[in-house]
């Protein structure tokens, strides 16, 4: 997916499709990036915008959570699951969790402090120009707001390779990208999770 710089910022080209017309939330098939791929070597700003994270150089197991926008009502409900379950992810070998959106670093830092006033080890990083998410193939055009945003997604990295990808067809939904769903995948209990919650997603073998 490509974008161009318009009068009011990043806007989509005509090839971007509306994810709201897709049939249902899927894992991997809805995303351009797939298990076995490597993510792009782009630096994402964090905190005071003087700190940068290069997610292509991560080692061991890491999680990247993509959200459409900081402070949006639905998005406010997404990262807290990962914040609360941080130690559970650590117990399953996850080194770090990164939340990324197309907001600037100061907005992401303010959002982090809003969601975790007592602090959290979860990183909130900024993809201001959308280049990182574009490389993942996970941008979409939010027609009502006339803007380009990140789809709601979660990526599990194993060293430098993508092990697992989940993407919501409806960016307002939090189903297959939730912390609970990813924990179910890590525990090998996707079938049970689907039966108990009704969330439909596929398990991608590592």
In this prediction, residue 192 carries a pLDDT of 87
In this prediction, residue 15 carries a pLDDT of 39
In this prediction, residue 21 carries a pLDDT of 33
Residue 204 in domain: no
CA distance 152 to 178: 10
In this prediction, residue 186 carries a pLDDT of 94
In this prediction, residue 28 carries a pLDDT of 34
In this prediction, residue 202 carries a pLDDT of 58
* Helices 179-187 and 190-197, axial angle in degrees (round to 10): 140
Residues with a known catalytic role:
75
Taking the CB of residue 17, how many other CB atoms lie within 10 A of it?
A: 12
Residue 201 in domain: no
Q: Which residues of the chain have pLDDT under 70?
A: 1-31, 143-147, 201-206
Q: Is 14 exposed, middle or buried (0-12, 13-18, 19+ CB in 10 A)?
A: exposed
Domain count, the chain: 1
The percent helix, strand, coil of the chain (3-state, each to 5) is 25, 30, 45
DSSP bridge pairs for 142? 147
Residue 86 in domain: yes
Residue 65 domain boundaries = 3-195
Residue 99 in domain: yes
Residue 202 in domain: no
CATH assignment of the domain containing 129: 3.40.30.10
Of 154, 122, 135, 128, nearest in space to 41 by CA: 135
pTM: 0.80
Residue 205 in domain: no
SS3 of 24-41: the string is CCEECCCCCCCCCCECCC
pLDDT of 80-114, one tens digit each? 999 999 999 999 999 999 999 999 999 999 999 99
Residue 44 in domain: yes
């Amino acid at each position: 997916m490509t974008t161009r710089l318009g009068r009011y910022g990043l806007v989509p080209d005509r090839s971007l499709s509306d994810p709201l017309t897709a049939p249902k939330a899927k894992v991997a098939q809805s995303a351009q990036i797939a298990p076995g791929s490597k993510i792009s070597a782009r630096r994402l700003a964090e905190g005071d915008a003087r700190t940068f994270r290069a997610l292509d150089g991560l080692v061991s197991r890491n999680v990247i959570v993509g959200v459409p926008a900081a402070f949006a009502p639905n998005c406010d409900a997404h990262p807290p699951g990962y914040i609360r379950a941080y130690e559970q992810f650590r117990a399953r070998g996850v080194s770090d969790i990164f939340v990324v959106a197309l907001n600037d670093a100061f907005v992401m830092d303010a959002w982090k402090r809003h969601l975790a006033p007592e602090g959290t080890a979860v990183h909130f990083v900024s993809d201001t120009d959308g280049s990182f998410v574009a490389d993942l193939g996970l941008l979409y055009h939010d027609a009502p707001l006339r803007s380009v945003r990140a789809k709601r997604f979660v990526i599990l990295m194993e060293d430098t390779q993508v092990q697992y990808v989940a993407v919501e067809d409806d960016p307002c939904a939090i189903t297959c990208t939730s912390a609970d769903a990813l924990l179910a995948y890590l525990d090998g209990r996707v079938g049970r999770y689907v039966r108990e919650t009704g969330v439909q997603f596929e398990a991608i073998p590592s």
